[in-house]
Structure 1
Amino acid sequence: MLTFLDALKRILVGRPFRTERLKQAPLRRRLALPLLSSNALSSVAYAPDEVLMTLAIAGVSAIYFSPWVGVAIMAVMLVIIASYRQSVKAYPSGRGDYEIASANLGPRAGTTVAAALLIDFVLTVAVSMSSAAHYAVAAFPVLSGHQTQLAGAGVVLLAVLNLRGLGRSRLGKALPTYLFIGAMLVMILAGAISAGLGTLGAAPSAGFEIVPQAGYDSSLTGLFGAVLVLRAFSTGSAALTGIEAPISNVQNLARPRARNAASILLMLGVIATVLTLGTMFLARAAGVHVVEDPQANLHADGGPLPADYIQHPVLGQLAQAVFGAGSIGFFAILAATVAVLWMAGHTAFTSFPNLASHLATDGYLPRQLRKRGDRLGFSNGIIALGVGALVLVLIFNAHVATLIQLYVVGVFVSFTLSQLGMVRHWTRQLASTANPRVRHRVMRSRLLNLVGFVLTAAVLVIVLVTKFIFGAWLAVLAILVLYLVMFSIHAHYAAVDRELAVDDTGTAKALPARVHALILVSTLRKPVLRAVAFARASRPSKLEAVIVDIDQEATARAVAEWDRLQIPVPITVLASPYRETAAPIIDYIKGIKSDSPRDLVVVYIPEYVVGRWWEQLVHNQTALRIKTRLHFEPGVVVASVPWQLSEETHGRALFEAERGDHHPEHAGQDQTGQNTPQHDGGSTT
């Protein structure tokens, strides 16, 4: 019979899958490309917005340079992809940057990379769902003002679906990415042709005047201008998140795995470059204007915009300029964008639990994260990611521009340490390689990774300098805290392993001098009689019952009933002047251990087993508190004696057995046949 919680779990998660379902055919490139690139390609939905929004601080003339900022970002992407193509051949296990940094730079670097990636995965879900909510508002303006609720619902739904397994069809998961690529290529091509013919429509915001912020009135000249361009570059570098996915999933690819991963990386780089640069050049041609605060920084006809103005994302404005508002093409672009953002979130819900399971296996995260759930996913990791992303969405009200400031830091920490690790890897290989041809190949790979390291380190510095006060400090703090937590967990597990390791001293084989058994009694009922029977069956060296005197009348009745039934176990009454239950028992046990340090004390606690989940709330609470306290006492074993509340018949037989088992000639002997003093019904300690 299912409990309420079990029934709720079945409704939300579904019936368990057999372990055999883990076995799936390796991914071929045509399916691996969309499945592993959705995270990187989805950044086209928000990275151009952030570049335009940042440059708009200096006015309308500054956004003219936005495509060239995009060119710089894509150049960095292609260099990183070229470097990763070398990395995947050297480390095809699927542990990605975490393994590369750990193997070549040590566990501290590896843990730093892991912490950065985990934080980045949480931000990926939060940013993707927040951005999807804004595109939903662009399609249906009636939803305006509900972006936070939409994004939060998206996170929860993603978590539930991943707990359920999100379906088994790989083609179904690949389709949204292919549709997004196709829709974007059609829009970019149609927009480019229209722009060449002079028939391209204007974006809804094209006629608005951008009011520059104070200090940036002189466009991009001077120090402020240079800093602003660097800030736009660092913010737009969100387009690079997710490109590490192929190297982290090599083990799922068809053979030759490393070569297929390298091909997927190359195709991903080409597609991302075409879509991102096409979007940014088309946005300039259509006159797209986006700012962080439309009511303050956009003017129309010389005055501020109305308070109910809704600023649509760049892709929404481009779809309206190319296909027309309300057209099939307009809704197709928005639907495809929401779909790829959804799949980007799903990718993070796969990558985060997988990385967490690796870390748990290595002892850096709780080992519960290694366990697969009913539907074969790493359920605890999925829940942790869902909670983290939901908290971010609610705290920042699904505001993409704010969440983006926390983004990128983690992924560039990972890029930088990974590239440095590969430089050290090739250097070590070079020292042990004599073949001239092989040495030349290794030197070329090392040079490529060295360029990648210098470039990613430079970008990381730019990101930290230009975004630190705008929110990047939160990401740095989160990475640092998670790093310290992981090392604390690892130190704890290492200490436990050292303490529990079996050595040759014979300590683990040593037996206690005697076994002193205690039966806890509150009122004389059938569960207590079962505990008496179980305790006697174990034949301890000494056996006694204890009752805490909280209510004198109730205690007297229990002791009198104990005598009337002639139960062959002495009972001791423990005084409790402050009406505590656990403290007198702990003190009594400490007294036993003080007199006989080598004795083992076994405490039998009768407990109810109830049929409904809510009934547990009104039973066993005192027993739970006592067990919790006893677990911290050395040399004490707690034995729970369950009583199923439906066992009335069996309980009556036990009751009668206890009465009939008592014989006067045995009244003065314990379970070993030795004489023991009888209770007087009122002894106290």
Structure 2
Amino acid sequence: MVSKLKRILLGRPLKSTELGEQKLRKTKALAILSSDALSSVAYGPEQILLVLVTVSAAAFWYSIPIGIGVLVLLLALILSYRQIIYAYSRGGGAYVVSKENLGLSYGLVAGGSLLVDYILTVAVSVSAGTDAITSAFPSLHEHKVSIAVVFVIFITILNLRGVTESASVLAYPVYLFVLALFILIAVGLYDIATGKIPPESHTAIGTPVAGISLFLLLRAFASGSSALTGVEAISNAIPNFKDPAPRNASRTLMAMGLLLAVLFSGIVFLAYYYGVTPKAQVTVVSQIAEMTFGRHFMYYFIQGTTALILILAANTGYSAFPLLAVNLAKDKFIPRMFTVRGDRLGYSNGIIILGILSILLIVVFGGETEQLIPLYAVGVFIPFTLSQTGMIVKWFRQKPPGWLPKLLINLTGALISFIVSMMFFITKFSQVWPVLVFLPAIIYLFHRIKKHYEDVGEQLRLATCEPVAPIQGNVIIVPVSGITHVVEHSLNYAQSLKAEQIIAVYVPFERDEEMRFEEKWSKWKPEVRLVTLHSPYRSIIQPLMRFIDSVQRKANDAHYQVTVIIPQFIPKKGWHNILHNQTSLMIRTRLLFRKDVIVTTVPYHLKK
């Protein structure tokens, strides 16, 4: 039943040789890897206005120079990550760049930041998309947590079906969103040019505003820079591209940068010229669309595509998180299960873990994840800063032909990214302070996992492992619950091993029961020694464990191996298991942690 449901949801398993067919063309890669960056157009300009409105609506004209500053940072990041793509074509992005050029600790800071950031990407994007839906349909507002969770489950299943299949589905909403915003910006500019929008709707550029300060402008710039989250995703996902992967990834990155620049500039300008003021229940894009088209088809088309891309922006996290996890797992900093490909050749463990953690965030914060946007943004700008700095070190060390312009690009990106990061810490410390807690905790966890893998490797390696003591014989203990075919089957197996001694152990709760069973056993299997352990407190596990311990102490002195053979019958139908006591499972679980005890289960399959 479970396997059938899995096939319905995920599709048929793919052979390893079909991996090449799962690589992405540029058009599909642009859709699934740029959705996070492009979707931030829906809330990045709004973040600028939310800071400026604390002074007055007259300060909104500052959004224009602030927007230009964001575009300068975008250009520096695009050119820088283009260089990273060619220099580190196997993927890994900021983690690999920082680790190889700045050192392991910086690499782990970048990797840990990005892992958490991709979880936030999913939670914030889906919640923002749900907000766009509830803006258009306010009656759904009270159900937004449930709606968001359903969307996360849908995107998780879609990604488990494979990269190309998810890209095929997600490409249409992304390109529809781009088309919708191009139409909105074009019509808005036309209305402005024809005088439909009165100039008095906004404050003229250059108007003096009381209370404005450089600190507040930097704060607004840092908030607006949240529109650049997701820019690094393509550099992490280079292995997902068709060959030549670096060139295709580079061209996709440039296309994303161009689209993001045009859409961001258009929304910032329209918001300024229309004199839009941010509201709690209605997004800035929603207000612009309503003022441009009214509440007609185009308004709902823009709101619908905006909601879709905000939700599907989560897919950037699903594309980048598993690949980053693979790089960390290969270096033994997170569990190796993240390196395993699933039935559909995707790194399914990473996809599932990302979905579960994102749902937890949405539920814990009640879908109100806008308070996570600063944490989300600073989680990106720390790796931005480290990757740019790492590339600066790389150019200084290697000095390849034409290295100086490359260094200047990275230096610009590093300085601006550092300033943005500091502004987040200074101005929004109450929202970003958790990064100072979870980053050290994650790095500590990374090192503990690495230490575990090193310890395991050292103990398993023949060259360093302690010499194995010779085994002179074998003592077999068989826990029995009665005289049945299950027990008979297990005893026959034990006798086939030609052990020095076979001991059947029975745990009765009453003395009369003990005597009756001993009498029956002496007639049935007199050649097998029976030990009865009366248990007045009706515990089977504790008396059995004590007996095994006593046998093991004597066996160790004689260099004998203790083996516990557990009889277990297997019902024909899986659900029948809930009708039976799982005593054998409990015994096996306890014994797995006993040193020098071998545990063997002998199954007996029932026919009906």
3-state SS in 2 of match to 1:101: helix
CA distance in 1, matches of 2:160, 2:168: 20
Q: Residue 322 of structure 2 corresponds to which residue in structure 1?
A: 353
Q: Residue 643 of structure 1 corresponds to which residue in structure 2?
A: 604
CA distance in 1, matches of 2:8, 2:174: 30
Q: CA deviation at 1:603?
A: 0.3
Deviations 1:284-308 (A, max 9, x none): 111211145xxxxxxxxxxxxxxxx
CA distance in 2, matches of 1:75, 1:558: 86
CA distance in 2, matches of 1:21, 1:254: 13
Please report the TM-score for the alignment, with normalisation by the length of structure 2.
0.92
Q: Residue 182 of structure 1 corresponds to which residue in structure 2?
A: 179
Q: Residue 289 of structure 1 corresponds to which residue in structure 2?
A: 277
Q: Judging changes above 3 Å, is the alpha-carbon distance between structure 1 residues 617 and 226 closer, same or farther for their aligned structure 2 residues?
A: farther
CA distance in 1, matches of 2:603, 2:27: 57
Whether 1:221 aligns to 2:211 is yes
Q: Judging changes above 3 Å, is the alpha-carbon distance between structure 1 residues 473 and 617 closer, same or farther for their aligned structure 2 residues?
A: farther
Query: Given the alignment, which residue of 484, 498, 502 partners 1:539?
Result: 498
Alignment of 1:627-666 (within 5 A): 627-646=588-607
CA distance in 1, matches of 2:199, 2:12: 53
Q: CA deviation at 1:33?
A: 2.9
Deviations 1:378-423 (A, max 9, x none): 2222221111111221222222431213211211111111122222
Q: Residue 656 of structure 1 corresponds to which residue in structure 2?
A: none
CA distance in 1, matches of 2:508, 2:138: 69
Query: Given the alignment, which residue of 363, 387, 391 partners 1:418?
Result: 387
Deviations 1:113-136 (A, max 9, x none): 111111111111111111111211
Higher helix share: 2
Q: Identity rate of aligned residues, in percent?
A: 35
Q: CA deviation at 1:43?
A: 0.4
Q: CA deviation at 1:226?
A: 4.0
Structure 1 stretch displaced more, 270-279 or 246-255: 246-255
Query: 2:14 touches 2:345 (CA, 8 Å); kept in 1?
Result: yes
For these two proteins, the number of residue pairs brought into alignment is 601
CA distance in 1, matches of 2:516, 2:11: 51
Alignment of 1:60-459 (within 5 A): 60-165=57-162, 168=165, 170-200=167-197, 221=211, 225-292=213-280, 311-326=281-296, 328-430=297-399, 438-439=400-401, 441-459=402-420
Q: CA deviation at 1:561?
A: 1.4
Query: 1:407 touches 1:475 (CA, 8 Å); kept in 2?
Result: no
CA distance in 2, matches of 1:16, 1:114: 31
CA distance in 2, matches of 1:220, 1:259: 50
Q: CA deviation at 1:15?
A: 4.1
Query: Given the alignment, which residue of 450, 455, 460 partners 2:421?
Result: 460
CA distance in 2, matches of 1:502, 1:447: 51
Structure 2 unaligned runs (5+)?
203-207
Structure 1 stretch displaced more, 365-374 or 280-289: 365-374
CA distance in 2, matches of 1:163, 1:599: 49
Deviations 1:223-257 (A, max 9, x none): xx444333322222211111112212223334443
- Root-mean-square deviation (Å): 2.6
Query: 2:144 touches 2:367 (CA, 8 Å); kept in 1?
Result: yes
Larger radius of gyration: 1
Q: Judging changes above 3 Å, is the alpha-carbon distance between structure 1 residues 260 and 353 closer, same or farther for their aligned structure 2 residues?
A: closer
In structure 1, give the amino acid aligned to 2:533: L
Whether 1:611 aligns to 2:572 is yes
Query: 1:54 touches 1:291 (CA, 8 Å); kept in 2?
Result: no
In structure 2, give the amino acid aligned to 1:402: Q
Query: Given the alignment, which residue of 40, 43, 47 partners 1:46?
Result: 43
In structure 1, give the amino acid aligned to 2:237: N
In structure 2, give the amino acid aligned to 1:583: Q
In structure 2, give the amino acid aligned to 1:590: D
Q: CA deviation at 1:219?
A: 6.4
Please report the TM-score for the alignment, with normalisation by the length of structure 1.
0.82
CA distance in 1, matches of 2:275, 2:118: 33
Q: Residue 205 of structure 2 corresponds to which residue in structure 1?
A: none
CA distance in 1, matches of 2:168, 2:504: 66
Q: CA deviation at 1:200?
A: 3.2
Query: 1:137 touches 1:143 (CA, 8 Å); kept in 2?
Result: yes
Whether 1:481 aligns to 2:450 is no
3-state SS in 2 of match to 1:608: strand
